[in-house]
Amino acid sequence: MKAIRPQRFFQVLCGVALVFGLLLAGCDERPQATIEKSIRTAEVKPPVEQPPAELLSTQRAFTEVAAKVAPAVVNIRAERVRAMSRLGPLFDDFFGDLFRAPRVPQSEQSLGSGFIISAEGIILTNAHVVEGAEKIKVRLPDQRVFPGEVLGLDPKTDVAVLKIKSDQSLPVTVLGNSDRIKVGQWALAIGNPFGLDGTLTVGVVSATERANVGIEDYEDFIQTDASINPGNSGGPLLNVYGEVIGMNTAIVAAGQGIGFAIPINLARQVAEQLIAHGAVTRGWLGVTMQPVDPALAESFGLDKVTGALITKVLPDTPAERAGLQRGDVLLSFAGKPVRGVRELQLQVANAPIGKTVPVEIVRNGRRLTLSVAITARDERPESGGEARRSRGKG
């Protein structure tokens, strides 16, 4: 085998490198392809040129509601100062009263929503959003921030009224009539879930007059599947006209698409008393009750499970003066059917003070109608049983 001289080897190597370089240069030559621009022009049509008119009108309704109502929906930040253990809550939970760690004041904040109901700066929100707060800040969608003053709150219905002062005009929501809503109608929620201002979610009214949920003392909720999350509390539930039909207040944590709103008629009734007096006066009957189950309904000769069974009549009360007795089953109050204990509690609480209303009962298999004069309820826990929770509810 002949040996290759170094000079010759260098010449061969350079030649190979040159050929390899030319080959690579040839590989870099790519065709000049043109990608069509996906921009809406006269020449580029959308995939669906004519969506159904109903779909477009629905979409337009949603956008109009958001544009008109969102400016009047506010973000509420409430600050509370609480005494906390220096070693943390886990230390207290583990050792209990055996070892008491030093307590230090610690600030905590909660977020919620609200909506302006008058140009004077009156705002509706949930009581649990602002209850016990030392400092309240209200931020409008235009980023103006105001200190909030609590005019009154009612934990039994979870309604609170705030006031802010502004030198400029404030946008205002329009309150609708929650008595007219029907299951299946559109429901739109606007609020600040997780602090995300001005979030709009859409669903339907899933149910009305929802009680026995165990959230408040007086329950008459609108149920909706419009997404409601922490931070939505106190925000408005709207119809397609942009009218407020409810105030979002709670969700079922274990489920999805189950949210509850206080009907605006109830919230407005409570708010009017809070604005005028700073507190709520409710009607009082003076009985303790329990729900009617299928066995009780059969024993009383009822054709369906309805009403509320009186288990005790308190002395010197409207119920005693009207002649109501233990063992009576209340079927209707003021002309409205009584479906259960919770419904009756709300009906009595909303009855005008001093007004005499008819009450239909079943006693010993006979239907009777009595007249009861409603008086103001003493809000002390010992007075009257109609505001107590149903059995099994705690």
| C-alpha span between 168 and 82 (Å, rounded) | 35
Say if residues 291 and 391 touch (Cβ distance below 8 Å).
yes
| C-alpha span between 58 and 54 (Å, rounded) | 6
| C-alpha span between 200 and 190 (Å, rounded) | 5
CA dihedral sign of residues 289, 295, 296, 298: positive
Question: Which residue among the candidates 85, 110, 154, 158 is catalytic per the annotation?
Answer: 158
How distant is the alpha carbon of residue 199 from its chain centre?
14
Say if residues 76 and 82 touch (Cβ distance below 8 Å).
no
**Catalytic site includes residue 277:** no
Say if residues 176 and 244 touch (Cβ distance below 8 Å).
yes
Question: Which residue among the candidates 85, 206, 233, 332 is catalytic per the annotation?
Answer: 233
CB within 8 A of 379, min separation 6: which ones?
Answer: 282
Please report, as a single letter, which amino acid is at residue 67: A
Q: At what angle do helices 264-277 and 341-350 cross, to 10 degrees?
A: 40
**Catalytic site includes residue 233:** yes
**Catalytic site includes residue 158:** yes
Question: Which residue among the candidates 128, 197, 206, 328 is catalytic per the annotation?
Answer: 128
Comparing C-alpha atoms, which of 186, 169, 192 is closest to residue 246?
A: 186
Catalytic residues: 128, 158, 233
